[in-house]
Amino acid sequence: MRKSSVKYEQVNEEVLRALADIIRTEVKDPRVPEMTSVLSVEVTPDLSNCNAYISVFGDDETAENALKGLNSASGYIRNQLAKMLNLRHTPELRFCLDRSIAYGVDMMSRIDAVIDMDNEVRKKRGDSE
């Protein structure tokens, strides 16, 4: 299966949906908060491995604990994934934190701060906006 094939994309989408459902409804680890989202998955073409990128609402400690909880429950999650999906091989799961949302929020706040500073400089100079 090539990485650019339609079948490859469909497998990724199905694994994403199934993982999100399993984490939301079946993982009972107290370290995994309810506000844990699966943002994307990358299944290798031979279906041997899967990188699941997750986002956790909360601070860094909450995210790290959620990652530890998901990695410790990966065997159970893989078993449930095998029951939900009809794949020849169920991939080994590896959970990774996706910090892109936090990065985007940080960049937006920095941009807003620069805009505010620019507006203050313009006001002091008497320029009109």
Ranges of each domain in the chain = 6-98, 100-129
Report pLDDT digits (tens) over 70-104: 999 999 999 999 999 888 888 999 999 987 777 88
Q: What does the pLDDT read at residue 4? A: 66
Residue 127 has pLDDT above 70, yes or no: no
Give the integer Cα–Cα distance in Å for 104 and 43: 25
C-alpha distance from residue 44 to each of 15, 72, 89, 94, 117 (Å): 12, 21, 11, 12, 47
pTM of the predicted structure, to 2 decimals:
0.74
Across the range 17-40, mean pLDDT stands at 91
CATH topology of domain 6-98: GMP Synthetase; Chain A, domain 3 (3.30.300)
Q: What does the pLDDT read at residue 5? A: 79
Helix (H, G, I), strand (E, B) or coil at 41: strand
Using CB atoms within 10 A of its CB, is residue 83 exposed (0-12), middle (13-18) or buried (19+)?
A: exposed
